[in-house]
Amino acid sequence: MTFKQEFPHKRGEQLTLRLFCGWWIVAAEVLLQLTFLSICQSTVGVFPRPVVEDMGWHIWQFALGSSMAVMAGAL
């Protein structure tokens, strides 16, 4: 599967610009990753109190865990 766009050349010939289908996969992955990160980061603010109370943690431990998850995802 390639995306073809034809445009006129100097001598009236038609050149074909092909876009490798792997770039569509990369673009889809970037969009999905951005969507996933935005949803996950917005839900982290909802759960600290129940998780901290249930697990007996300090709030900084919960925040450290979510921060480390973001850093690991960036790698």
Residue ranges of the domains in the chain?
Answer: 1-44, 46-75
- pLDDT for residue 32: 92
- Tell me how far apart the alpha carbons of residues 70 and 22 are, in angstroms, rounded to a whole number: 26
pLDDT greater at residue 17 or residue 56:
56
Sort residue 56 into left (φ over 0), alpha (ψ -120 to 50) or beta.
left
Inform me whether the pLDDT recorded for 43 exceeds 90: no
| pLDDT for residue 54 is more than 90 | yes
Residues 26-35: tens digit of each pLDDT: 999 999 988 8
In angstroms, the CA 65 to CA 61 distance is: 6
pTM to 2 decimal places: 0.47
